[in-house]
Amino acid sequence: MSTETIQAPELSKSEQDRLLNIRNIGIMAHIDAGKTTVTERILYITGITHKIGEVHDGAATMDYMEDEKNRGITITSAATQCEWNGNRINIIDTPGHVDFTVEVERSLRVLDGAVAVFDGVAGVEAQSETVWRQADRYGVPRICFINKLDRIGANFDRAFDSILHRLGCNAVRLQVPIGVEKEFSGLVDLIEMKAWKFTEGDGPGVEPMEIPEDMKQLCDDRRAEMIENIVEVDDDMVERFLEGDEFTVAELKDVTRRATLAGHAVPVFCGSALHDKGVHPLMDAVVDYMPSPIDKGQIVGIDPKDEETEVVRHANSDTPFSGLAFKTIADPNGDLTFVRVYSGILKRGDAILNPRTRKKERVGRLMFMHAAERKAVDEVHAGEICAVVGLKNTITGDTVCDDKNPVVLESMTFPEAVISMSIEPKSTGDRDKLGDLLGKLHREDPSFRIVTDEETDETVISGMGELHLEIVTTRIARDYKIPVNVGAPRVAYRQTIMKEVDIEGKQIKQSGGSGQYAVANIKFRPWELEEGADAPKTNTNFIDSTKGGVVPQQYIPAVGKGIEEASKSGGQLGWPFVNIEAELHYGKSHDVDSSELAFNLAAQRAFREAMEGNAVVLEPVMKLNVQVPEDFLGDVIGDLNTRRVNIEEMTMDGQIREVNGTVPIAEMFSYAGTIRGLTQGRGSFSMEPAGYEAVPAYVQEQLIKDRLK
């Protein structure tokens, strides 16, 4: 692959200083770990807000949607900005509920660093692992904040160990808490070897104190452990460490920053955001250890006119403009498109190119966002994040760029929907209005899908879970004033092939008029996914291995297209086929009667015959974590056993039992109400996608009977 590089002019001193003082970070975690509370404290201590918004009161600045206020959870990622010690911090607060994981996905794609928040009692939870893997996928450097350490049952070391072992990262403690639970009153900074006592009210949040006598040995041990883990990125420092040399604070901060940016180490900090404990040192850590746009290095895309040519851009306002649209919000006054500017300057009134549509779009207005509030600006520079009004055909994942210097940046992938339900307006007069609105909502949220069932002509919406679709339908009725009827939730089943078969598909019609003649010999077999690949795929892998021109070259794409169309139609049951490899290895044609249509139809016939009696139904499976008081464990386990749960382990922490395993999502509808009833409201559970698995034979038999009714 060739590379076309537009040389970046040398950074001016002012531009270099500006970029070095920018941090684009996300706050990510499992639901209820305290992400939004951390963000609220940051906004308060940086002077952006003058009142601390509490999540549990529905008053959090970052949870501005009606459903977020009512439910006390984050549903959509919200952007804001603040200043800290002369540095500009752009923050995106992301959701923690598995149903809204797409919001984390698209935020991490454009962020330079992330703060992972963990509950000091629970440690790593199900969604913690999901968002961690998402950050791994985009190579996002992280620091960790173990939150809620003043709660009963909180344990810093236990939470740290869960990060170390469940996430498989090189977690490194840079702080040690002073006191536990209600006595959590300060921390020891292991780099500076200073102790800090938490203070109340306005001010720095901490004041110096002596390291407690009974903690000095522990802190010495923890500091040695910290240094050993972070100096591994520097051979000279490793040698000095082995020789027993001392390091300066500046040297330790520098090597910690390098280790963090390289992904070698993940610094871990402690605190309790609700009571403003440890948030000031956390902000210092964001500045000290999170990357600036310059640290992220050059941005590599491809030339839209030649996909074999790489195009390089640099974080510099004096280069051609390029940016990535990572979020859209439907708005009566004009849809908002969130854009990360990677290079150049985006100005109000500019005409910019969307390489996907090959059309220019006009920038109407530019704004910096503070949750739901907007601040109009005339231009946005490299390294910044903004909202644009006026882009009519740009969707999530699209690149926008200078039309004279086009580039396509890496987009993002979105998970397959796992739950579906039918939807229709209560009034037939609202049918067109509902159709337009569903299209807008899909633009906002790519994990929300809409299809029309060809047999019943009903509209079917799909999403990541019950809560996801419940939020969507609530917004349709409440915010857009379109009353709707919805069907019961349905699982997004898929089908695949069990074993290899070799089928000869024929389309022969040679009586009267122009004929059709095509013979396609195709081997169908399971398509083995690479380890770690997302499953299932929604298409087939087509291979042409014909020799000697038995199938003319111009008809081969039609064979692949016919297989793809047949796989998506789902055959008799209507569930799409996935993970199937199809190899065209022989065929026949006719000089006069062969055509693309004939080979397309022959391939479809071959596919249907191959799947007949050789298909297995796949169902979405979730990782399940249930936390329940010991007194109710028997009843909960008994109920789980009726839901086809595969229990993998059970652990105990005090009086709380934790059950981990996997479960088909079809068995978990309305489980929230069930576990509340079984545990007098004291049990909780969480789930995250774990892929697709074949359903048991007896379940498949019943599914087919119900489907064919």
> What HEC string does 363-415 produce?
CCEEEEEECCEEEEECEEECCCEEEEECCCCCCCCCEEECCCCCCECCCCCCC
Q: Convert the pLDDT of each residue in 260-289 to its tens digit.
A: 999 999 999 999 998 889 999 999 999 999
The set of residues, in sequence order, having a beta carbon less than 8 Å from that of 413 and lying 6+ positions away, is: 105, 534
- Residue 547 confidence (pLDDT): 93
State the first-to-last Cα distance of the chain, in angstroms, to the nearest integer.
53
Contact 581, 560 (CB under 8 A): no
Looking at residue 167, its amino acid is: L
Rounded Cα gap, residues 330 and 472, in angstroms? 13
Report the sign of the C-alpha dihedral through residues 191, 192, 193, 196, in that order.
Answer: negative
pLDDT band at residue 474 using 50, 70 and 90 as cut-offs:
confident
Mean pLDDT of 554-561: 95
- Residue 287 confidence (pLDDT): 96
Phi and psi dihedrals of 190, rounded to 5? Answer: -75, -20
Count of CB atoms situated within 10 Å of the CB of 483 = 11
Contact 67, 2 (CB under 8 A): no
CA 399 to chain CA mean position, Å: 18
Spatial CA neighbour of 370 closest among 10, 53, 688, 612: 53
H-helix or E-strand containing 337?
A: strand 336-343
Contact 504, 603 (CB under 8 A): no
Rounded Cα gap, residues 137 and 133, in angstroms? 6
Whole-number percent of the chain with pLDDT over 90: 49
The set of residues, in sequence order, having a beta carbon less than 8 Å from that of 296 and lying 6+ positions away, is: 112, 315
Q: Could you tell me the two tokens for 428?
A: 């037939």
- Residue 455 confidence (pLDDT): 58
Mean pLDDT of 72-100: 72
pLDDT band at residue 308 using 50, 70 and 90 as cut-offs:
confident
Contact 465, 418 (CB under 8 A): yes
Rounded Cα gap, residues 285 and 271, in angstroms? 13
Whole-number percent of the chain with pLDDT over 70: 89
Q: From residue 569, how far is each of 523, 531, 562, 564, 608 by CA, in Å?
A: 19, 27, 11, 9, 10
- Residue 419 confidence (pLDDT): 81
pLDDT band at residue 309 using 50, 70 and 90 as cut-offs:
confident
DSSP-derived pairing of the beta strands 266-270 and 171-173: parallel
Count of CB atoms situated within 10 Å of the CB of 556 = 18
User: Which of 96-105, 351-360, 656-665 is the least confident region?
Assistant: 96-105
Mean pLDDT of 335-357: 92
- Residue 75 confidence (pLDDT): 46
With 0-12 CB in 10 A as exposed, 13-18 as middle and 19+ as buried, what is 236?
exposed
Give me the chain's average pLDDT, please.
86
- Written as one string, the DSSP assignment of 632-691 is GHHHHHHHHHTTT-EEEEEEEETTEEEEEEEEEGGG-TTHHHHHHHHTTT--EEEEEEEE
At residue 558, the 3 state secondary structure works out as: helix
Q: Convert the pLDDT of each residue in 632-669 to its tens digit.
A: 999 999 999 999 999 999 988 767 788 999 999 889 88
Contact 241, 147 (CB under 8 A): no
- The pTM for the full model equals 0.71
pLDDT band at residue 454 using 50, 70 and 90 as cut-offs:
low
Q: Convert the pLDDT of each residue in 163-209 to its tens digit.
A: 998 888 999 999 999 999 999 999 999 999 999 999 887 666 789 99
Rounded Cα gap, residues 328 and 331, in angstroms? 9
- Residue 68 confidence (pLDDT): 41
At residue 188, the 3 state secondary structure works out as: strand
CA 630-632-635 angle, to 5 degrees, is 135
Rounded Cα gap, residues 462 and 467, in angstroms? 12
More confident residue, 670 or 324: 324
pLDDT band at residue 694 using 50, 70 and 90 as cut-offs:
very high
Count of CB atoms situated within 10 Å of the CB of 517 = 20
H-helix or E-strand containing 69?
A: helix 66-71
61 pLDDT exceeds 50?
no
Count of CB atoms situated within 10 Å of the CB of 704 = 14
Q: From residue 418, how far is each of 20, 163, 621 by CA, in Å?
A: 42, 29, 9
Rounded Cα gap, residues 457 and 453, in angstroms? 5
